[in-house]
Structure 1
Amino acid sequence: MSKKILIITYYWPPAGGPGVQRWLKFVKYLPEFDVEPIVYIPENPSYPLIDKSLISEIPDNIIILKHPINEPYKFAGALSNKSTNTISKGIIPEKKRQSFFEKVMLYIRGNFFIPDARKNWVKPSINYLSEYISKENIKTIITTGPPHSLHLIGLSLKDKLGVKWIADFRDPWTTIGYHKQLKLTKASKCKHKALEKQVLNTADQVIVTSSVTKNEFQQITNQPIEVITNGYDNDLVGKIEQDSKFTLAHIGSLLSKRNPEILWQVLSENIQENESFAHDFQLNLVGAVSENVLESINKYNLSNYIDNVGYISHKESVKFQKKSQLLLLIEIDSEETKCIIPGKLFEYIVSNRPIVALGPKGSDVENIIKETNTGDYFYYNDYKSLKSTILMHYKAFQNKTLKTQPIGLQKYHRKSLTESLSKLI
């Protein structure tokens, strides 16, 4: 007989972006391991990105519970839709570029909505789910964040009903990079820390997506912590013809601080020094790109070589991954980003296209790329190595031999990862 579990998540189709796919895929495969998932989501969410193509991936027989949510982004959007939408996507303008309205929004978001702007969904959800859990005799619940306010739902249901509670962290809480930009007061910082500690020490099981986050959380709690990364799923796109140009593609958002001037300089010099490279090269930016990134690209005279595609559906982004010659993975060079493993990395590694990654030393991403033999990882001072590697790939492109020889990918398949989850349940 299948075991019922309740999954509490904010992101669900038609939401777009990486946050939705983790639990959409777990829900897809859990029934194969004798687990019956029931999904609880907001009835009227304010999703910053929409991808209707993901709706078709929801299993037909899954029970989905919905309850209304009251979000401040809707009110703020009535005042300044552009600023609200940008901030809700996680693209926070540089301090010197912030308008008065954006500064006020960030202060209010950071200090009046702790842990986040979805906090108003906590109490109504506790009341609604308490009755449902008791009626359906559900013994295990899972909360996934961000938004980390959903863990407060799990905290209360654990206390009220004594259910087994698994808290899943797709990103860290108080050490995530954007916390520094929220204009938090000392009291607000302390409140975040206290809530984080309470959640980590009350959940029966904690799941994280990286070993760096596991090490961080082990300094706060003695509760069991398991690393279950994101992953890749079966190919829904099929064979795609490669670009005729030497294309470098970055899939996903390029935030204000995710701006690798070392890369723009390398590309600019290769263009100046190599006429055939200049003729063949194209940079595809697939996703939201901040203004200062575009300004940096222009500063290095690359504007005529870019295709700023913007946000597209997940299915279309996979096509870009498969047809591009090289795939770019760029992370901010900071201590806080060592634990970030973008969901796209796992689709990158099965695309048969070499990865060129830039990020901090000691990153989980570096370890995965090396272990799977799917590309090269550079620090922000590896100028010569980065330049020579891109030229090496360009020569392989000219010789029609540009590809990867990956190893050990199966453990990152969504079904294998779901099996690990089912053992915890």
Structure 2
Amino acid sequence: MTRTRMPSGGGKAREGLPVLRERRTNPGVLGMRKTVLLVTTDYPPLAGTNTRRVESFARYLPEYDWTPLVLTLAIEDMALIESSWVSDGAVETERVRTPGLQPLVRRLRGQRPRRTKEGEDDAGDGTDGAAHGEGAVWRTALGAVWGLVVALERASYVPDPRRLWSAAASRAALRLAAKRRIDAVVTSSPPFSAHFVGMRLQRRLGIPWVADLRDLWVGRPYRFLPYRWQHHLDAVYESRVIGRADRLSFASPGWVPVFQRRYGSGVAEKITIITNGFDAAMLESNPVRAPARGRGERTRPITMAYTGALHEGESPWPLIHALARVAEQAGAERVRSGFQLRFMGPGDADWDGPRAYLRERGLDGVMRFLGTRSHAESLAEQRGADVLLILSAPPHDETIRGKSFEYMATGKPIFALLPEGSTQAEILEPSGLATIVPYGDVERSARVLAGYLESGVPVVRANWEYIKTFDRRNLAGALAAVLDGCVGTAGTG
């Protein structure tokens, strides 16, 4: 595995698992500009933080003598897109439609990609874009079979329902390779079936292939496969990808021991850790609001913000229970006037339960649920908050939340509810910004909130030397180094 010096003043990493984050100047192999095919379904204008990794690689790789060509999902097949997205045409992009039942039913229903919300309203149920009025009965009938179609595809395709897109993307990639020189291919997951595109190009044309894992594959927390045969086949596919890829890039060092246990210690020689990061250029356009201080100085509530996905693994209930505990001790009125908690992002959480729970305790209005917004709005939310929240349940011991790096780049206090001893904690601790409490520890969480209420937001001193190493421009340089090492050595891994 690639080893590099940790930044001075930067904190610990797991033994033998340093993180590759150093900026470098890349003169290019033999001084020639090369072309890399980047394969992913998660790419703008698709809404969500998952798109930022490959998009930033595409934006910054030209600085390291690699010209990106992106192969991604057709916009028509995206469920939710950024409302503010405008293509600048700077990166050549090939978009592939998805065959299969889901896209067919979507088209028959007149279902178009939804756009992220704008404005201040609390999140509602929303709609799926299906029209009303004439034809509504027909579309409603189609809607009745939508859930069945989704369930059938989930039960039929391994490793994921994007398997059909992967097959179509493989054919598109071979057509592209027939028309132009492609020096390397990077496939980014999830979806894990994206790696089949790289496997096919490597096998058919001998193109060097880097498999980039943004999430754990087999054993990923909360990933659901309904049948035993799917679990077996899933493990077989992962083994093939790990074994055949020329190089592997992981977004978390915590996964390396997992793969060493599965495939032997030698697999580490193929792995480079390239974490997620932040885009300094985008953050510079969002000014940071001055924090709310102690009781005597404070003229407004302390704003605590969470941006990003809210699923079972990011449940806010421990925080909600802690807030209620503070209200029992300090009084509901004081908590109502002292805090404003704001949640912005997608998820499958049922917010009626938290709303009812808070209302019963006299805490109406303390929490706002703003739904999915554009990335620009998420950045503005982070920069305008006093404290930034991270929630990560214990199954995610090795997961690093993508929001962590944008949070650190604000220099603001971070309140993190995390599994004890997690990789996420190891990333946050050296920043000088984080207060970390075990996820689910209501008593300790309540003490932190009570401290904010009594004394205001704490003064923190950011370790900027450490934080700046996560600039996405540097991380693109790390990928360029992997690609340079790959060229001319395909098939040796």
TM bucket by the smaller chain? 0.7 to 0.9
Matches of 1:106 and 1:361 in 2, distance apart? 36
Secondary structure at the residue paired with 1:163?
Answer: coil
The runs of 5 or more residues in structure 1 that have no matched partner are 86-99
- Contact kept in structure 2, 1:39 and 1:64, CA below 8 Å: yes
Which position in structure 2 is the counterpart of 1:258? 314
Contact 1:287 1:312 in 2 (8 A): yes
Equivalent runs, 1:194-273 vs 2, <5 Å? 194-221=236-263, 222-223=266-267, 224-234=270-280, 235-242=283-290, 244-273=300-329
Counterpart of 1:66 in structure 2 is 95
Partner of 1:142: 186
| Farther-moved stretch of structure 1 (101-110 vs 347-356) | 101-110
User: Does 202-211 or 40-49 show the bigger shift?
Assistant: 40-49
In the TM superposition, residue 134 of structure 1 has moved relative to its aligned partner by 3.8
- CA offsets, 1:208-230, max 9 Å, x none? 10012222222334440111000
Whole-Å separation in 1 of the counterparts to 2:71 and 2:211: 15
Equivalent of residue 359 in structure 1, options 394, 401, 418: 418
Q: Which of 449, 470, 480 is matched with 1:422 structurally?
A: 480
Q: Which has the higher contact order (CA 8 A, sep 6+)?
A: 2
TM-score for both structures, normalised by structure 2: 0.75
Letter in 2 for 1:394: L
Q: How many residues get paired?
A: 402
- State the 1:149 CA deviation: 1.0
- For 1:5, the equivalent position in structure 2 comes to 36
Q: Which residue matches 2:469? A: 411
**SS of residue in 2 equivalent to 1:6:** strand
1:236-385 equivalences in 2 (<5 Å): 236-242=284-290, 244-275=300-331, 276-300=334-358, 301=361, 302-334=363-395, 337-385=396-444
C-alpha separation in 2, matches of 1:27 and 1:421? 11
Question: Does the aligned pair in 2 maintain the 1:71–1:118 contact within 8 Å?
Answer: no
1:62 Cα offset (Å)? 2.2
Q: Retained in 2: the 8 A contact 1:237–1:319?
A: no
Indicate whether 1:108 and 2:124 are aligned. no
C-alpha separation in 2, matches of 1:74 and 1:186: 27
CA contact (8 A) 1:256 1:293 kept: no
Deviates more, 1:344-353 or 1:120-129: 120-129
Q: Could you report, residue by residue, the CA deviation over 1:292-336 in whole angstroms, capped at 9, with x for unpaired residues?
A: 4541453243443122211111111111111111111111222xx
SS at structure 2 position matched to 1:16: coil
Identify the residue that residue 92 of structure 1 maps to in structure 2.
none
CA-CA distance at 1:395 after TM superposition = 3.7
Indicate the residue corresponding to 1:30 in structure 2. Answer: 61
**How many angstroms apart in 1 are the aligned matches of 2:275 and 2:313?**
24
Q: Does structure 1 conserve the Cα–Cα contact (< 8 Å) formed by 2:242 and 2:248?
A: yes
Shift in CA distance, 132/25, structure 1 to aligned 2, threshold 3 Å: same
After superposition, the C-alpha distances for 1:351-376 in whole angstroms (9 at most, x for unaligned) are: 12211111222321111111212212
Deviation, 1:168, is 0.5
Contact 2:315 2:349 in 1 (8 A): no
Distance 1:128 1:262 in 2: 47
TM-score, normalised to structure 1's length?
A: 0.86
Change (3 A) 1:294 1:354: farther
Which runs of 5 or more residues in structure 2 are unaligned?
1-31, 115-143, 293-299, 484-493
What CA distance in whole angstroms lies between the structure 2 residues aligned with 1:392 and 1:75? 54
8 Å contact from structure 1 (residues 369, 376) kept in 2: no
Who is 1:97 aligned against? Answer: none
CA distance in 1, matches of 2:458, 2:221: 39
- Three-state SS of the structure 2 residue aligned to 1:250 is strand
C-alpha separation between the residues in 2 aligned to 1:26 and 1:52?
A: 22
Q: Structure 2 vs 1, CA of residues 324 and 404 (structure 1 numbering), >3 Å: closer, same or farther?
A: farther
SS in 2 for 1:179: coil
Q: Identity of counterpart residues, as a percentage?
A: 24
Shift of the 377–77 alpha-carbon distance from structure 1 to 2, 3 Å rule, reads: farther
SS in 2 for 1:18: coil
Q: 1:139 touches 1:164 (CA, 8 Å); kept in 2?
A: yes
Encode CA deviations 1:57-94: one digit per residue, 9 max, x unaligned.
x5x43222233222543356589999x99xxxxxxxxx
Deviation string 1:100-133 (CA, Å, 9 cap, x unpaired) is: 9798566524320211111112333222322322
Query: Counterpart in 2 of 1:43?
Result: 74
CA distances 1:12-46 after superposition (whole Å, capped 9, x unpaired): 21111011110111111111111111111233452
The 1-side partners of 2:439 and 2:401 are apart by 18
Letter in 2 for 1:287: G
* Contact kept in structure 2, 1:393 and 1:402, CA below 8 Å: no
Q: Secondary structure at the match of 2:50?
A: helix
Matches of 1:420 and 1:21, distance apart in 2:
16
Which one has a bigger Cα radius of gyration?
2
SS of equivalent to 1:285: strand
